[in-house]
Amino acid sequence: MVSMEEFMKIGFVFYSESGHTLSVLNQLEKVFQKKGHFVEKISLLEGYDIKKRVLTFFPKVKEFEFILFASPVQAFSLSIAMSQYLKQVQLKESQKVGFLLTQYFKKPFWGGNRAIKQMKNFIQDFHPIILGEGIVHWSSKERDTQISSVVDKLGSVLDE
């Protein structure tokens, strides 16, 4: 456990249609909580019209000491909901961020790499400090190992 002075407020802003991305976040949330941090999970799904492809929910995130943006890969790209969100998001200069993607295919060149690049491009003007990023390949035999390793990696980005 960390002391109260080291307690940090973490935001997970995520889009998860079938629950894969959310299930990884739930594990990560536990890791941060065990370390004494506070995690707020903010879902974009309820504010997104899948048929019309329009997002109407734009939560503010400047208050968080670390924000993790998490999304599935869709059509070899970042999901439209997360794209619409990141196009307009206001960050603090040099705010700490991380990225998590899940995708069906086993290799990151089937959309995962591109999606992470898109996330970075959308927020680059704020010069964010990128503390970590990870992709989980859902159809891989190694999926559980990938999840553990991503959760370990992202879960330790705030450690001293």
Ligand X SMILES: Cc1cc2nc3c(=O)[nH]c(=O)nc-3n(C[C@H](O)[C@H](O)[C@H](O)COP(=O)(O)O)c2cc1C
Q: Residues in the site for ligand X, rule: CB under 6 A? A: 16-22, 72-76, 102-105, 110-111, 138
Contacts for 53 with CB less than 8 Å, ≥ 6 apart: 80
Q: CB 15 → ligand X: shortest distance, Å? A: 7
Smallest gap from Cβ 80 to ligand X, in A, equals 9
Using CA atoms, how far apart are residues 80 and 48, in angstroms rounded to an integer? 9
111 or 158: CB nearest ligand X: 111
Strand positions, DSSP E, 44-95: 48-49, 54-55, 66-74, 77-78
Report, in Å, the least distance between residue 153 CB and ligand X.
18
Cα–Cα distance, 12 to 15 (Å, whole number): 10
In sequence order, what E strands does the chain have? Answer: 9-14, 38-43, 48-49, 54-55, 66-74, 77-78, 96-103, 129-137
Minimum CB–partner distance for residue 127 and ligand X (Å):
28
Measured between alpha carbons, how far is 51 from 158 in angstroms, rounded to an integer?
38
> 95 vs 118, which CB is nearer to ligand X?
118
* Distance in Å, CB of 99 to ligand X, minimum: 14
Which residue lies nearer to ligand X by CB, 95 or 112? 112
SS3 label, residue 35: coil
Q: 73 vs 150, which CB is nearer to ligand X?
A: 73
Residue 71 vs 95, nearer CB to ligand X: 71
